[in-house]
Amino acid sequence: MTPPRSPRRPTARRAAAPQGGTRSLGDWLNVAPGALKALHAGASAAGQTLEAARGVLPAELTSHLWAASCVGGELVLVFESAAWATRARYQSEEWRLPLAAALGLTVDRVKVKVRPRG
């Protein structure tokens, strides 16, 4: 008796590469506009959030902050070590509202994560 087969997982289709060798990002945007535009918009928003956070957070924290994003009122800050993340957690209420004002968004919650560099 053969074991039952697991159902096939759907596979994502890749956009066809633009013809003619190496192309610019603009060419790729024309091939798969939805996915790349969404990716670009998310990366731009995260970059703006990171810059705003670096402008508001104390200088001792900014050199250890390496990523930030704000989605749905939740601000996520990523620090390189648990020690710096702990400091940020304790101080987060002090700069939550100034950071929300700098971003022009509502920040209901600050979530601090740790991800070592490298």
Domains of the chain and any CATH numbers: 47-114 (3.30.300)
Q: Mean pLDDT lowest for which of 36-40, 48-52, 61-65, 95-99?
A: 36-40
- Beta strand 109-114 pairing with 74-79: parallel
Q: Give residue 25's pLDDT band: very low, low, confident or very high (50, 70, 90).
A: low
User: Is the pLDDT confidence value at 18 over 70?
Assistant: no
Q: What is the pLDDT of residue 34?
A: 74
Q: What is the pLDDT of residue 46?
A: 92
User: Is the pLDDT confidence value at 38 over 60?
Assistant: yes
